[in-house]
Structure 1
Amino acid sequence: MQAGLTARYPDLLRDTDDLEELYRLAIRCQVLCVSQAAEELGWDDARVTRAVRLLVDGELLRPLAADRTVLVPVAPHAAASRRLAPLHTQIARMERQSEEIRAELAHFQDVHERTMREAGIAEPFRTVTGADAIAAEIAAAAEQCDSEILVARPGGGRDTTDAVQRAWEPPESAFGRDVRTRILFQHATRFDAPTRKHVERICRTGGEVRTLGDSFEQMVVFDRELALIPADSNRDAAVVIRLPAVIDFLMGVFERAWVKGRPFGSQNRAVDVSELVSGVRMSIIQLLAEGETDEAIARRVGLSVRTCRTHVAKIYQELGARSRCQLGVLIAQSGLLGQG
């Protein structure tokens, strides 16, 4: 009530106590006579009149029939419904107008897209929103692709129940058929069973998979002509790119990461496991030294927060640290960063 009425009556805040006291009296009496209220509260006529006027404007008091000196209280939820009714009507009218505008322009959107295709003109940037829209865009691009698919997917293991994560994966039917496929994951995915099975299927079709310990940017690139990158941190919207200069830049980013990657074999050899765990541990140590939180480290390294905290706890134990600050000092003194 205060927010709405304060705009109309700047000194309402000064009268809040009066309004609450009069409203409580009205609730107790159920039928409130203004003159009796003044007498019971010990207020003068001006004070009562002002409080009554504000409560009536706020729909918390309602005159009984035609006699405006006799009032009944109104429950706040009912008052809100009465005051919001005009707004709801206005919102409904604006929504109808919005739909009418969209309907008027929908035909011309079709004309625009059809003419662009017929003229061989590709929009340099376009945004698609939602897992279904991203999946459809990637599936269509994969079907038309005839030479190369590049996928860079940072993060942890493959969660087949995550609709957004699935949306960013080209359909497995796109792999093979003389299309070179290269996929980049993070080291942590090597220990995830669903990811390993996925990689095995990709490799059987001739695809190549590598992993990196460091984080990298997510992207999917088709034939070096079309790319998709996340439009936001939630990755539930994507920017579809056809601008050659931007795609060349993304290709350079991918190739530099690819060169650093380690081949994702069908089996994890003991020596590889040791090296990979050490690599993940060194990445965590580096990020701890930079002052990152456990959540940020987990996201960067591609681990769950719980697994990341297990590694951090072991690092605390190994270095004998008792606090985050002390851990940073001990990491600096240990020489580990120089080794990394």
Structure 2
Amino acid sequence: MTDGPGPAESALYLAAVRRGGRLRPEDLAPEDRPTLAALVARGLLAPTTSGWTAASPRALGDRLGGELRTRATRLLQRAEHLPDGLAPLALAYDSAQPPGPGNAAPAVRSVHLDGDDAVRGRIAGLIADCREEFLSAQPGPRPVEAMRSHLPRDLALLRRGCTMRTLYQPVAATERPVLEQISLRTGAGAQIRVLAEPYARMMLFDRSTAVIPAGEGSNSAVVLTDPATISFLITRFERDWTRATPAEGHLGPPHPTTVRVGRLLARGLTQRVVAVRLGLSERTVAAHISRLRERYGAQTLFHLGWQMRGAGDA
């Protein structure tokens, strides 16, 4: 159960507290039995040889808070993957709509690619043909081996004068090998930012062609060239770009104590519990949390813990 005690449970618990933290069988009315069972199930009352004794509500609060954070994390993960999962259906719907007045064809022009080789080959060709601007939004962890293999093509794109802007999520900017790859690209002129929010995966080439997933995996994609669709995707990318923070702020390793604070937060512990666990003042822990929030772009403790759930330094 992830809800707090109701009025009847609270009243019976307070009655136990007023009796010195103990309840005896003779203190209970018959109608109190279901309420008593609920309090025992919650851990607010513990059975003893002579009755029941009251336990600290703080432990219950920490446990319920952890359960709620876990449930919310699962919901956020589902929300993160939902747009990609619906993309093939949306494209099929748009393509099936009849032409509008004066139009000779449906509004969305697209090419569906199946298989890793087909997707990678088309992307490699689009990057090779790119002459002005390459925009990329890449949520989730980044495979370092793929980044290493793509480094020569990215550097070649930058050397021929193209601008390159890439969005990552915090989970991608915490592993040292990935940070090294980011540094190599930014050192050559690429702009890379980190956004601690869910966003859609996409690649945009010269503001004329886009590649988006056709499903949850990486083995199918859709290539789009419709101007209205491209404009919509660019608007979404620019909106996310303005809310992101430069990757340079993630390149330095955090302080060891900050790392320990982060690990405990990622486990669902509260600021007060973290302070007690590490033997620090709450003010000191708050300072470390402030640095972590800036690093991960998080607004709340829960958001911070969620962003750090797969982070290498947490």
TM-score using structure 2 length = 0.47
Query: Which structure is higher in RCO with an 8 Å CA cutoff and minimum separation 6?
Result: 2
TM-score using structure 1 length = 0.44
Bigger Cα Rg = 1
